[in-house]
Each structure stands twice: as C-alpha cells, then as structure tokens.
C-alpha cells in the first residue's frame, strides 16, 4: 500500500518511518477515477472488541474486526470464493479480508485469493490469533491490536507480517511509544469520543489529506464496495443501514452499477451542505460512518471544529 501519512504539527512527535496512515484508510490519499477499486469482505459476525450494538468509534474500523448482528444466514465458503472470483473478473485489484469468526475460513479465502493473482490482498488478523496463521504467498497479513493493552514489540515473533492496525486513544499519539521496533506498515486507528464534547485533539490536522480527486470523488468511499457475511452490499462496512445491493438476488456486477452506490463514491464535500463553503473541504478526510454513528444522519457534522 502506498504511503499516505501526512502528520500535521500536533502529530510531529509521531515517528513516521513505518506509519502509513493516521485515522483514515490507507487509500484515502489515492487518486480515484470512478472505477471499482477494492472489495472489503466481512467473513463472519466477527469477534472484535467493538460491536454494532455498543458502537464502533474507530477511525479505520472499516478494515478491522468488529462484532455485528447477522440478519440472516451467512454466505457459504464456496459462495464467498465465487464473489472473490467475480470481483477479480470485474478488474478488482485490492481485496480486504476481515471480520472473521474463525481463522480457518480466513486462511481458506486468503489462499484462494492468492491463486487469482490479485495485485493486493490483505487479511486482518487479531493479535491473539497470530499463532494460528500460516503465511500465504501473495497475501499481506495485518495484525490488529489495541494500545496500551498490546504493543508492536509483541509482533517481533511474526516477521512475515506486512503491517499492523493499531487501535489507539488520541491522547497516546504524541508519545508514539506504541510503535516499538516493528518494521512493517502501521495504520493508526484513532478512537473518537461519542460526541464532539469529548474531543481532545485537533480534528483538522488529524483529517488532513492530499488527494487530487477530492473535487470529484469521496476520498475513501470512492471505488470501494463492502460485502457483509450475509451478502449485503454496502458503501462502507460500518454503514450497515445503507444497503445498496443483495448478492442473493443479484451479481456483484449488478450491485456495483447501482446508482445508490455510485452516489456514495461521488459524495464530495460540495454535496454536504455544512462543508460546501469550507476552505478546507478538499483536504479534509471525511468519515461518514463516524458522523452517522454520532448523529444518526449520513450528512452529520458532529466532529467538525469549524462548526463548534
């Protein structure tokens, strides 16, 4: 994954040698062209720390392991393989495997994906499950851990890891002590408070991005399609109430063509009333999932310091 971190002055104390992204998906600084780019496949209900019921305050929770309520029976392993194959045939290049119930299923899908020669395959594994993982050639394994419960030094026993998704409270960012001696890519998954009243960091600097396509496309939703374990198609894994397709009734190709999904890809700041006149609108990462969780509105603006 292309290095995408742009640390502002408040984060200048963070060692950036291996930090790829802070509080935003690693592709947020990638130029988008309006085509399908990545599939985030949620394999199961999940067994992560945060849940759909209790709230998921993660800035990069989209690629992490959480816990969700399944509305129906999950897809079979074979159906998930068919989905991955269809994604590849559609020209998909970036596959994320996450939110698993058991490592065996995750590894089976990782092996299958590796045989399809995707340019990028990522499998996100909870730190407690790393001993159960057998490295797969062509698959980038990412360890998921929470600081301060765990540190990156614990990953030294797994030299085959590509990266680490570190869930970190914002007050710990300045110290940077969670980085340790890990040489892989690091994604800092900063936790947000339930409301703006709990903010204790500069949101503008945390959200800063440099993406040449933000005048036309949303910086992280563009080109992204998420599929839940039950086969529902979403614009983002954390926007569970915004179903844009159902793979029990249609193909992935048909779902990707849906105008409702494309509308999310093109949800620029110009289309959000409170952002449309802001001078920072094209350099501000915009997590609609966090705002929706805080306000109940897809165009909510709970965390914008310009409106406080």
Domain boundaries, the chain: 9-295
* pLDDT tens, position by position, 207-243: 999 999 999 999 999 999 999 999 999 999 999 999 9
Q: What is the pLDDT of residue 18?
A: 85
CA dist., res. 255 & res. 308, Å (int): 38
Beta strands in 44-175 (DSSP E): 94-98, 120-126, 140-146, 163-168
pTM, entire model: 0.94
pLDDT-based confidence at residue 176 (cuts at 50, 70, 90)? low
User: Which alpha helices (DSSP H) does 125-220 contain, by range?
Assistant: 203-207
Q: Which fold has domain 9-295?
A: TIM Barrel (3.20.20)
40-79 residue pLDDT tens: 999 999 999 999 999 999 999 999 999 999 999 999 999 9
**252, containing H or E segment:** helix 252-256
Residues paired with 168 in a beta bridge: 190
* 12-38 average pLDDT score: 85
Q: How confident is the model at residue 2 (pLDDT cuts 50, 70, 90)?
A: very low
Please give the helix or strand (H or E) that residue 263 lies within, else none: helix 259-265
């Amino acid at each position: 994954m292309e290095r995408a971190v742009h640390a502002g002055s408040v984060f200048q104390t963070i060692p950036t040698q291996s930090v790829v992204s802070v509080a935003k998906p690693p592709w947020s600084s990638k130029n988008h062209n309006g085509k399908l780019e990545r599939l985030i496949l949620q394999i199961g209900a999940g067994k992560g720390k945060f849940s759909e019921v209790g709230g998921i305050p993660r800035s990069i929770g989209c690629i992490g392991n959480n816990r969700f309520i399944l509305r129906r029976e999950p897809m079979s392993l074979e159906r998930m393989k068919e989905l991955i194959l269809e994604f590849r045939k559609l020209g998909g290049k970036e596959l994320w495997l996450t939110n698993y119930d058991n490592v065996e299923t995750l590894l089976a899908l990782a092996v299958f994906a590796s045989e399809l020669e995707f340019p990028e395959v990522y499998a996100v594994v909870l730190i407690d499950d790393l001993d159960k993982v057998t490295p797969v050639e062509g698959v980038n394994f990412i360890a998921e851990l929470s600081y301060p419960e765990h540190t990156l030094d614990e990953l030294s026993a797994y030299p085959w890891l590509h990266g680490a998704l570190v869930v970190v409270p914002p007050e710990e960012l300045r110290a940077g002590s969670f980085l340790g001696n890990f040489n892989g890519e690091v994604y800092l998954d900063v936790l947000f408070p339930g409301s703006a009243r709990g903010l204790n960091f500069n949101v503008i600097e945390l959200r800063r991005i440099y993406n040449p396509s933000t005048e036309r496309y949303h910086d992280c939703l563009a080109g992204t399609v998420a599929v839940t374990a039950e086969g529902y198609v979403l614009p983002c894994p954390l926007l569970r109430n915004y179903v844009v397709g159902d793979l029990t009734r249609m193909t992935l190709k048909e779902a990707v063509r849906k105008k409702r999904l494309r509308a999310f890809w093109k949800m620029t700041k110009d289309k959000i009333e409170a952002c449309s006149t802001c001078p920072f609108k094209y350099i501000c990462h915009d997590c609609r999932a966090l705002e929706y969780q805080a306000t109940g509105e897809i165009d909510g603006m709970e965390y914008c310091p310009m409106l406080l």
